[in-house]
Structure 1
Amino acid sequence: MTQSAKNMLVHRARFMELNGANITALAFSHVSKLDKRTPSDLRLALGRSNGDLEIWNPRNGWCQELVIQGGKDRTIEGLVWSNVPGESLRLFSIGGSTVVTEWDLKTGLALKNYDCNAGVIWSLALSSSQTKLAVGCDNGCVVVIDISGGSGVMEHEAVLQRQDSRVLSVSWKEDEFVIGGCADGRIRVWSASKNDEMRSRIIQTMKVDKSKKESTLVWSIIYLPKLNQIVSGDSTGSVKVWDLQYATLTQTFKTHEADVLCLTTDETNTKVFSAGVDRKIYQYTLSPVTSPKKSFKWAVASNRLLHSNDVRTMTSYQSKGADFLVSGGVEKNLIISSVSTFSDGNYTKISYAMPFHKNVLINKEQRLCIMWQHSTVKIWTIGGETNSDTNYRLVCKLSLKDEQNITTCALSPDGQVLVVARPNATKLFHLQPTNGKLKVTKLDNDFLLKTGTKHVRFSDNSHVIIVSAKNEVLLFDLEDDDADEKPTEIQLPELTENKSAAKLPHTTSINHLDVSGSFVVITRLCGAVDLINLIDNSVIPIARLMNLITAIHISKRDTVVLTTADNKILEFSIKETEEASIGTMSDWCKKNKDVLPKDFEHMKGKCLGIFSGSAADDRMWFWGFNYLATFDMSQDLPVNTRKRPKKHRIDGNTVTDGNNFIDAGEEDDDDDEEELADAQSFMRDRLTSDDTTNRTSKDGKAFFITEKYKSILMAEDLSDHEIIVVENPFASKTFSLAAFDLPKIIL
């Protein structure tokens, strides 16, 4: 560690409360197929009780690609994907209303809202042909919706015979029958085939055990097509197996101590998993028996306590090498285990506070810290080096009366103009210091009020770069009266469409934006990196990578530094020089990208942010959810302790490798033993060479990393000798990032 790193002052900000939301729905985009390789467009959709919708990519240890913000009184209670060959993937959701919503992942807006006109929807299921939806309503109806018309098309097909109880769960048997679990303790089967004379009628009814105190609720239903069986979970804690052909009960398991809220099965239908209010996940296995009457029966194989609270939802996916059992609930964290090694395998716990998408920013010139959540923005002022109680103050709290949640914010360098963006509108505010507080005045801008924004940054006090919901790059001059109607639009280079982009158009969406002086660097989910020169608005492609970019930064070295999902660091020139042209890899990158320290490259968390050191040195800082690291870019890293590096193929501005795998590591579930400070504390700390958690490279200069900071939401430099690390003191102490140990998955 160099002298400059030793003397770096670190402010630890722990006063920001980040409240997560319960996980209420999970769905994989593809059906399990053990004889097929894992498709490159495999995604997991995650819904939360606050209406947020997240898209996760399991490649390279699970990365959050997209967050669609919810809003006031919104929730996601059910999710399904439609995956028809030759068409883009389609995502549908329900949530506390009579409406089924189809989402446009590219814009983050609803593509179509279809009102069933049959009561509040409680459950949602997709048919085997992927062309029909069944929704169970609280008035006892099941509505069948035809979605075969393509993207954005939902048409009414039928209303199945009504009965008197809420339909809490639904499942399909091919396209012929709808199976529903109801609030009166009954399982009903409706005919949904167009060619059946009994169409829309209830053809079978099965009754679960009756509770002494109240009606039994059949919370969950799944159909096992390879066995022609139904598995149900109810409010008595029972899991029951039914023979669909004869509508008879074959086995009962009273395993859970409370309501069974979710069920799932493996690809072969020989394993079933159940979970609910008692937090445990049970595994049931189909076993052969010697009895002449039965050739097999179900048995409880194991159970595990992976959650600290109710398990609300669970799903699974299997293919050649892929083996995911994903669950979530009131704990808010996403837990990933293995179908085949569930009983004794490792698992992953991904925190709800993982800042793949930031909700904190730092204004260095005015020493302000801005945080937003839901419809509220809070601004704190950061004091100097004194350790007094007045070292920080909340100087502004802005609450918007909007239904939609805030997507992002930006503050001008002088601290006077605040941009608050939502999916369908963007607002401007003027901040004026008054008696130690910030007085807020709304500014008018007709164009922005009609424009949804994903990303926004200031290049100076009056010029703003905005990425709209439609992925348009717009330049605004806030002092120009004509800018309300005539923003400058920058056209990005077209990308070659691949298989993943055809199935998931949102992979061409912009996911990172950084601005420094007259340079703007933009990256897209597919790995494209482009440079915009604001002097002439020209666009130059920098790189086309084969991996998700997790963080970017325009450094003081006239380069753009970025990290990828597999914890690689790349650096490209953004200025024309005698030694290098724009887009050329830096000398440091060429020499060191394949010999990064094991402590960094094998870190189980992703790098989520980058910032430069002082102007006097070439130090770059990298931070993730649970670490802070720095590299001296003027020095080469030692290579003698490394294994032989992987070979990479460099083709112009394209960096590729053969690692098209869903990565996996080993579980390391160490508890954070450091006590969380009071929510209103603002502490200082210094990085010291005798800290046992600090590690350096062999020469002690080129690389340094510490894991003493936990649940990091943002890290940034305040001055040449100051850093602020914003931590979330309310994140789970038992959080772990490790993935279970599974074979790599060939995409």
Structure 2
Amino acid sequence: MDIHRCRFVPFPPSPINALAFSHPHTRTNLQSNLCRLAVGRANGDIEIWNPLNGAWHQESVMRGGQDRSIDGLVWVVEPDEEMPTANPDSGHEKSVIPGRSRLFSIGYTSAVTEWDLEKGRPLRTASGQHGDIWCLAAQPPASAAAGGKGNKAGAAASAQQQQLQQGPADAVTRLVAGTIDGALAIYTIADSELRFQRLLIKSPARKTQMVSIAFQSRDVVVVGCSDSTLRAYDMRNGNLLRKMSLGSDLAGGSKEIIVWSVKCLPNGDIVSGDSTGHVTIWDGKTYTQMQRIQSHRQDVLSLSASADGSAILSGGMDRRTVLHKRMPGPVGRWGKVWSRKYHDHDVKTMASFESSKMSVVVSGGPDASPIVLPLKELGRENHRTLPNLPQQPPLQSAAKARLIMGWWNQEVHIWKLRQPFDGLYNNTNGNVTSEDLDKNRKLLKTILIKGESNIASASISPDGDVLAVATSTDVKAFYLEHNNPSKPSDIKVAPIQVPPSLAAVGARLVQISPDGAWLVVVQAGNKISLVRLGRDDSGARTLSRPQPITRMKRKTPKNLIVGGLGTYDRTIVHVSFAPDSRMLAVADLAGYIDTWVLRGAESEGEGDRDDASSAASEESSSDSDDDDDDDDGADEAREKWHHTPASTLLPKLPAPPVVLSFSNDIPSGDSSDYTLLAITTSWHILAFHPLEGALTPWSRRNPVARLPTTIRDTRDLAKGVIWQGPRVWVHGVSFLFMLDLSQDLSEPNAGGASSSAVVQAGRKRKRRGAESGAGNRMTIGAIAPQQVDRFTSDKKEWQLDIENAAPPSSEGSDTDMVDRDDDDDDDDDDDGESGEESNVEGTQGGRSAGGELAAMRNRDTRMDGRSGSGRKRWWYTYKYRPILGVVPLGTPGATSEDSKANAGGDLLPVEAVLVERPIWDVDLPERYGTNDER
């Protein structure tokens, strides 16, 4: 495969301002399955992540808009309910309706916003007569009231109130917001509403700002302020229970201390982090200071605690994450036991999650990457950095026109690569300079989408003349007129009128078919519409009336629909057209796949047929008139999309899908069928024949246990695929894999041990399921090459462990767009491989900084990657990272005849563009830290 290695496509990741788990501590498997992590970013986007026992899948992104920011997130989970059985004497257990999960956000304005997870957009907004909101917290349910002053009275009042109500659904009905003008505002969320209720208190001194907030019990709220104090208020009447003072800052510092973060432990004790770098422990009964620890060299911005209150983590401006634990002894004092720099910037926010299988803390900040730390196993397990790049690549190509389109926020950028891969190297005799690379690319157009909403999805036709853009509020289409197709000149952009039923509602996904004749639109609420692209009498592009299509009904437990996340798991996340544009497939988060086929009116009366040849013949008869301007209406009347009968036979995927793609083979005979590939979060690689509703023979013979261990143990998820005949090139944020679907994989563990089975320090590496959900188990006696501080006793004896780090891998010296490493050392190992892979193949043997791990990877490739005939069954590389996306150029793939003709020889070459976004290209805000930090 010929790869253009590009780093000029812009995608600036947005800083993380807020993190929140819907179920911080789960007691049942049902609650664990419903737990989601919300990540709020500075550009207004909210990402929803599913922990998946350590797989960490970014399920969806709810887009923000211009001048919007997410600065606080709060989940409200209503109490579970029991559904009565029809026959109480039957002995069957009562089914549980999980409490409904609701997500609220603030953004340094005077408004609180509730989000619709199913539709992916704001549901309702409320504001009151107060200043900008700086902090937000949800009142805990009555059953969770514990600890703190006034708990007995609060518990009695809560119990009496719950008895008067019909059920526990209204146990959590209020939000409390702290404002910049020193007020506490109450918002009610009872009866599925959100409205401002009243001001609980209003500080007479307007210079006092409410910076952080946490509930000690249902009736006691603790607020961290900007005037060196913490205040505890009674929620029932607004009385000030106690004012806790931190005093003045040290000499030379500010007169007032800002309490950036406050947390309440299960026993009622209060923990605060302030601008002096101290973590302070307060007695929850007397509201007196128990201990003050100098944990950081600069401000403490975030706090997190374990569910049992035995551990506290703090993050600060000094980039450090510090673990505090109770020291043994009757006094029960706290001490620092671990300190390390995981971030490149401030540690602004933290959130913890504990279940029977996971115990982690997720932190984030301006460096835009969420970092997962083991909570109970901190110091014994490695951390894991989640990608700051989206799971769905904001990247697409117009292969025939050699255009690359990328989008972010409200901008669309269209680039062109002038010369093909071989032409570029042939014209320069293989000596490609940076000047040649600069000349080979051109930015044709930057389109700014009007409106306030960020782009949710975009698509460009293969010939590059139609562009569709969707936001949460509208859908827009543009005609891109190329002045001179032979030269990369500027593009004239003209709007295309979109039907009002689409334009005024917005959409989650848009996709243009490979022949440029259809546009599929997935709107909020998972409504699917197909629109034919045509031309009017003047030659201008037009969109016809939308043709709605429906999905198959699935049996979903009623208790999950009524409560929990509702129908969120039926959210469509993947859309794919067949290469001839005669079939459409969609997949949702639950793992259900639906397919439709395009048929003419004459075939409707023949019933639901699974004959691909008839569909192909209808295509030849109907598409013959596509070039006639006057026949678009006739084509529309003749052809309609029908649900494929065999779609009901497609099994539910064993895990959420991350890739859905048709192969490039077009059915040509009565016995042929399309090939639809699905890859899940658990690395099930499943190929289907959608017209038959069955797995392909390759998938039946090659279950997930036969996949190479290198692929199965990859923690990053797949993001997309490119087809090359029977070969499928799978890419993620850190890898590029190849699987040949025309060859069976070797038996499990055949060919020797792989990297996951290597015995280190006398023990086999612990498997994924036994880990806490962060990184791998640390090797005994080895610590990652970073500075680690350990606090060993109350005498403040510090042990500083510093290991000499290996030089970082260069990842290739290219900083531009084309990469072709011709390494002759691997020629003897290719055994008949076609030369199109030489640009990435040569990097495996020549990596200078891979060390033992790189040698292990190379050994695994050579032992397990070849069949008896010498052709590789699979191949991989980690040279390219981080990968934003990979898109094809030129004519993608080959027809089924071409694939069969080349099955025993060289495959047709494939040209692709691989877009990287290195971390050093991320623009970080200025840090307040000193340059001489250790």
**Structure 1 length-normalised TM:** 0.88
Equivalent residue number for residue 238 of structure 2: 200
| RMSD between aligned residues | 2.6
Check whether the contact 2:416–2:444 (CA below 8 A) recurs between aligned residues: yes
Check whether the contact 1:17–1:728 (CA below 8 A) recurs between aligned residues: no
Equivalent residue number for residue 121 of structure 2: 109
Among candidates 548, 555, 561, match of residue 496 of structure 1: 555
Equivalent residue number for residue 466 of structure 1: 521
Q: CA deviation at 1:680?
A: 5.0
Equivalent residue number for residue 396 of structure 1: 445
Q: CA deviation at 1:319?
A: 2.2
Q: CA deviation at 1:305?
A: 1.5
Letter in 2 for 1:636: D
Letter in 2 for 1:674: S
Q: Encode CA deviations 1:214-246: one digit per residue, 9 max, x unaligned.
A: 4211111111231x2111111111111112322
Q: Measured at CA, do residues 304 and 82 of structure 1 come closer, stay the same or move farther in structure 2, by a change above 3 Å?
A: same
Q: Encode CA deviations 1:539-571: one digit per residue, 9 max, x unaligned.
A: 233331231100011113411001010112001
Q: Measured at CA, do residues 184 and 445 of structure 1 come closer, stay the same or move farther in structure 2, by a change above 3 Å?
A: same
Check whether the contact 1:18–1:728 (CA below 8 A) recurs between aligned residues: no
Letter in 1 for 2:414: I
Alignment of 1:482-631 (within 5 A): 486-498=545-557, 502-504=563-565, 505-516=567-578, 517-535=581-599, 536-539=640-643, 540-541=647-648, 542-557=650-665, 558-575=674-691, 582-594=692-704, 595-613=706-724, 617-631=725-739
Q: CA deviation at 1:400?
A: 2.1
Distance in structure 2 (CA, Å) of the matches to 1:377 and 1:635: 40
Distance in structure 1 (CA, Å) of the matches to 2:594 and 2:29: 35
Equivalent residue number for residue 508 of structure 2: 454
Check whether the contact 1:147–1:155 (CA below 8 A) recurs between aligned residues: no
Q: Does 1:90 align with 2:152?
A: no
Distance in structure 2 (CA, Å) of the matches to 1:552 and 1:660: 30
Q: Does 1:125 align with 2:137?
A: yes
Letter in 1 for 2:919: A
Q: Encode CA deviations 1:319-363: one digit per residue, 9 max, x unaligned.
A: 22320111111111111011112234211101202x412200011
Q: Encode CA deviations 1:357-391: one digit per residue, 9 max, x unaligned.
A: 22000111111110001111111112213143422
Distance in structure 1 (CA, Å) of the matches to 2:57 and 2:751: 26
Letter in 2 for 1:692: Q
Among candidates 391, 401, 404, match of residue 356 of structure 1: 391
Letter in 2 for 1:286: R
Check whether the contact 1:181–1:188 (CA below 8 A) recurs between aligned residues: yes
Letter in 2 for 1:348: R
**2:587 counterpart SS class:** strand
Q: Does 1:215 align with 2:256?
A: yes
Q: Encode CA deviations 1:565-604: one digit per residue, 9 max, x unaligned.
A: 01120011023xxxxxx21000000001231111222222
Gaps of 5+ in 2: 81-96, 142-171, 426-435, 600-639, 666-673, 753-768, 779-783, 785-805, 822-835, 846-857, 892-907, 923-934
Equivalent residue number for residue 270 of structure 2: 230
Q: CA deviation at 1:22?
A: 1.0
Among candidates 194, 197, 213, match of residue 170 of structure 1: 213
Q: CA deviation at 1:40?
A: 1.0
Q: How many residues align?
A: 692
Q: Measured at CA, do residues 510 and 660 of structure 1 come closer, stay the same or move farther in structure 2, by a change above 3 Å?
A: farther
Among candidates 250, 258, 269, match of residue 309 of structure 2: 269
Equivalent residue number for residue 740 of structure 1: none
Letter in 1 for 2:225: C
**1:345 counterpart SS class:** coil
Among candidates 140, 152, 176, match of residue 134 of structure 1: 176
Q: Encode CA deviations 1:117-147: one digit per residue, 9 max, x unaligned.
A: 2110000111221332111000100112222
Q: Does 1:373 align with 2:366?
A: no
Letter in 1 for 2:466: V
Check whether the contact 1:391–1:682 (CA below 8 A) recurs between aligned residues: no
Distance in structure 2 (CA, Å) of the matches to 1:41 and 1:640: 34
Among candidates 714, 728, 733, match of residue 916 of structure 2: 728
Distance in structure 1 (CA, Å) of the matches to 2:465 and 2:544: 23
Distance in structure 2 (CA, Å) of the matches to 1:346 and 1:665: 5
Distance in structure 1 (CA, Å) of the matches to 2:58 and 2:215: 30
Q: Measured at CA, do residues 324 and 273 of structure 1 come closer, stay the same or move farther in structure 2, by a change above 3 Å?
A: same
Distance in structure 1 (CA, Å) of the matches to 2:697 and 2:727: 15
Check whether the contact 2:374–2:772 (CA below 8 A) recurs between aligned residues: no
Q: Does 1:641 align with 2:749?
A: yes
Q: CA deviation at 1:704?
A: 1.7
**In terms of mean alpha carbon deviation, does 306-315 or 84-93 score higher?**
84-93
Q: CA deviation at 1:506?
A: 1.4
Q: Measured at CA, do residues 518 and 330 of structure 1 come closer, stay the same or move farther in structure 2, by a change above 3 Å?
A: same
Q: CA deviation at 1:407?
A: 1.0
Q: Does 1:13 align with 2:6?
A: yes
Equivalent residue number for residue 285 of structure 2: 245
**1:599 counterpart SS class:** helix
**In terms of mean alpha carbon deviation, does 540-549 or 724-733 score higher?**
724-733
Q: Measured at CA, do residues 284 and 270 of structure 1 come closer, stay the same or move farther in structure 2, by a change above 3 Å?
A: same
Distance in structure 2 (CA, Å) of the matches to 1:606 and 1:671: 27
Among candidates 459, 475, 493, match of residue 410 of structure 1: 459
**1:543 counterpart SS class:** coil
Distance in structure 2 (CA, Å) of the matches to 1:67 and 1:35: 27
Structure ranking higher in strand proportion: 1
**1:407 counterpart SS class:** strand
Q: CA deviation at 1:161?
A: 3.9
Letter in 2 for 1:586: T
Q: Measured at CA, do residues 672 and 728 of structure 1 come closer, stay the same or move farther in structure 2, by a change above 3 Å?
A: farther
Distance in structure 2 (CA, Å) of the matches to 1:451 and 1:643: 56
Equivalent residue number for residue 156 of structure 1: 197
**1:21 counterpart SS class:** coil
**In terms of mean alpha carbon deviation, does 671-680 or 106-115 score higher?**
671-680
Q: Measured at CA, do residues 156 and 642 of structure 1 come closer, stay the same or move farther in structure 2, by a change above 3 Å?
A: farther
Check whether the contact 2:397–2:462 (CA below 8 A) recurs between aligned residues: no
Q: Does 1:332 align with 2:520?
A: no
Check whether the contact 1:145–1:158 (CA below 8 A) recurs between aligned residues: no
Gaps of 5+ in 1: 1-7, 194-198, 576-581, 645-658, 735-747
**In terms of mean alpha carbon deviation, does 698-707 or 369-378 score higher?**
698-707
Distance in structure 2 (CA, Å) of the matches to 1:278 and 1:661: 29
Q: Measured at CA, do residues 132 and 642 of structure 1 come closer, stay the same or move farther in structure 2, by a change above 3 Å?
A: farther
Q: Measured at CA, do residues 671 and 698 of structure 1 come closer, stay the same or move farther in structure 2, by a change above 3 Å?
A: farther
Check whether the contact 2:518–2:531 (CA below 8 A) recurs between aligned residues: yes
Letter in 2 for 1:454: R
Equivalent residue number for residue 295 of structure 2: 255
Distance in structure 1 (CA, Å) of the matches to 2:340 and 2:772: 25
Distance in structure 2 (CA, Å) of the matches to 1:301 and 1:506: 41
Q: Measured at CA, do residues 638 and 413 of structure 1 come closer, stay the same or move farther in structure 2, by a change above 3 Å?
A: same
Check whether the contact 1:161–1:201 (CA below 8 A) recurs between aligned residues: no
Distance in structure 2 (CA, Å) of the matches to 1:139 and 1:592: 64
Q: Does 1:476 align with 2:531?
A: yes
Letter in 2 for 1:457: Q
Q: Measured at CA, do residues 23 and 555 of structure 1 come closer, stay the same or move farther in structure 2, by a change above 3 Å?
A: same
**In terms of mean alpha carbon deviation, does 448-457 or 275-284 score higher?**
448-457
**1:478 counterpart SS class:** strand
Q: Does 1:673 align with 2:716?
A: no
Q: CA deviation at 1:628?
A: 1.5
Q: CA deviation at 1:664?
A: 6.3
Alignment of 1:695-714 (within 5 A): 695=861, 697-699=865-867, 700-714=871-885
**Structure 2 length-normalised TM:** 0.71
Letter in 2 for 1:156: Q
Q: CA deviation at 1:69?
A: 1.1
With a CA cutoff of 8 Å and minimum separation of 6, indicate the structure with the bigger relative contact order. Answer: 1
- Identity over aligned residues, as a percent? 28
Distance in structure 1 (CA, Å) of the matches to 2:76 and 2:687: 39
Distance in structure 1 (CA, Å) of the matches to 2:180 and 2:451: 29
Among candidates 349, 352, 355, match of residue 313 of structure 1: 349
Distance in structure 1 (CA, Å) of the matches to 2:103 and 2:875: 43
